[in-house]
């Protein structure tokens, strides 16, 4: 005889009553999992597995569907995220280390970073205090962009997370697949170091939010190419937000505060059409380079960064 928690023929029970679905979100990925067949647990419990639940008014739903491997993966992801949230800034938890994460910024020095423009001192544009990396507000707006900082390393497939805090009206960005000195004459207006950009912007106060096409210069967007989906879970100016960039081969995702706001395929027809309409249309092969640097943008406004972490990923 089949006990109550065995899967029904066909892989899913025939349910004619309400079910409850529980989901968990995380800014970390754990890898792909394959769902198993759903199980059902009646209100009275399952004697074969020792599963019980209270009876009475609280027993609103008769069946609870559980896909065990999926649930286990979600619990693991939630545990890693919760552990990281509780940890001190600019540190790695045991779970993060085991998952391959490392600090891209150590929280104390500029080790691993240098100016994207020759002859510009990092100390002139950036300061480090209390575990926060801050780009100073430019006294001269014409000097904006001269203080971009770039990693010494290049990356291919990776997952990057970074906390950022905007000041009123601020504009900045996190660029990836950056090519050094690709546009020395700054024909694009984006600076000599060109790459794909996760836009950081005070959408309410900065005029750039209303420029471009269909909001593709707002926070979380692939700057000047693809707008971030709305509504967004943006935290107010002056509070910490978390950007996440995931790249696996040609597939790219932007996440903002745990919400995926866009995804695209580098080199696809849609991507190339976006490039053709952008300020990068004169850059051959824009965004399709196999590797590139990570860059934090200085755009004349004060912006704060911390918890900059990265891990390498397989291409597929």
Chosen domain end from 86, 106, 122: 86
Q: How would you class 141 by CB atoms within 10 Å of its CB: exposed for 0-12, middle for 13-18, buried for 19 or more? A: exposed
**Overall domain count for the chain:** 2
Total count of residues recorded for the chain = 316
Q: Answer yes or no: do 191 and 74 share one domain.
A: no
Q: Answer yes or no: do 183 and 212 share one domain.
A: yes
Tell me if 123 is assigned to some domain: yes
Tell me if 3 is assigned to some domain: no
pLDDT in tens, 133-157: 999 998 755 556 668 999 999 999 9
- Alpha-carbon gap, residue 139 to 309, rounded angstroms: 30
Q: Answer yes or no: do 157 and 41 share one domain.
A: no
- Alpha-carbon gap, residue 270 to 276, rounded angstroms: 10
- Alpha-carbon gap, residue 13 to 38, rounded angstroms: 7
Q: Supply the CATH number for residue 120's domain.
A: 2.60.120.560
Q: Answer yes or no: do 144 and 255 share one domain.
A: yes
pLDDT in tens, 179-216: 986 766 666 665 668 999 999 999 999 999 999 999 99
- Alpha-carbon gap, residue 109 to 123, rounded angstroms: 11
Tell me if 41 is assigned to some domain: yes
Range of the domain at 51: 19-86
Tell me if 4 is assigned to some domain: no
Distance between first and last Cα of the chain: 43
Residue 131's CB is within 10 A of a number of other CB atoms, namely: 15
Q: Answer yes or no: do 52 and 141 share one domain.
A: no
Task: Between 254 and 2, name the one with better pLDDT.
Answer: 254
pLDDT in tens, 256-289: 999 999 999 999 999 999 999 999 998 999 999 9
Q: Answer yes or no: do 170 and 38 share one domain.
A: no
* Among 141, 160, 158, 177, CA closest to 298: 141
Structure tokens at 147: 């203080």
């Amino acid at each position: 005889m089949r006990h109550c928690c065995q899967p029904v023929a066909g892989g899913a029970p025939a349910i004619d009553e309400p079910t409850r679905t529980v989901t968990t979100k995380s800014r970390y990925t754990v890898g792909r999992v394959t769902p198993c067949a759903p199980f059902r647990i009646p209100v009275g419990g399952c004697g074969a597995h020792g599963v019980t639940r209270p009876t009475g008014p609280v027993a609103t739903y008769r069946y609870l569907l559980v896909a065990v491997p999926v649930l286990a993966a979600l619990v693991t992801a939630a545990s890693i995220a919760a552990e990281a949230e509780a940890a001190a800034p600019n540190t790695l938890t045991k779970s993060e280390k085991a998952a391959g994460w490392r600090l891209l910024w150590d929280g104390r020095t500029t080790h691993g970073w240098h100016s994207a423009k020759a002859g510009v001192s990092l100390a002139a544009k950036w300061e480090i205090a209390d575990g926060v990396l801050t780009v100073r507000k430019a006294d001269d707006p014409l000097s904006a962009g001269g203080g971009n900082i770039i990693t010494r390393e290049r990356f291919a497939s990776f997952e990057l997370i970074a906390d950022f805090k905007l000041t009123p009206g601020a504009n900045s960005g996190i660029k990836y697949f950056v090519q050094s000195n690709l546009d020395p004459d700054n024909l694009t207006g984006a600076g000599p170091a060109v790459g794909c950009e996760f836009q950081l912007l005070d959408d309410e106060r900065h005029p750039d939010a209303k420029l471009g096409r269909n909001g593709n210069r707002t926070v979380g967007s692939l700057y000047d190419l693809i707008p971030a989906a709305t509504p967004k879970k943006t935290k107010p100016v002056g509070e910490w937000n978390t950007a996440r960039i995931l790249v696996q081969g040609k597939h790219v995702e932007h996440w903002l505060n745990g919400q995926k706001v866009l995804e695209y395929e580098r080199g696809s027809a849609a991507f190339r059409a976006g490039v053709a309409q952008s300020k990068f249309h004169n850059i051959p092969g824009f965004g399709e380079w196999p590797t590139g640097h990570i860059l934090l943008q200085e755009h004349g406004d004060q912006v704060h960064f911390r918890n900059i972490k990265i891990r390498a990923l397989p291409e597929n």
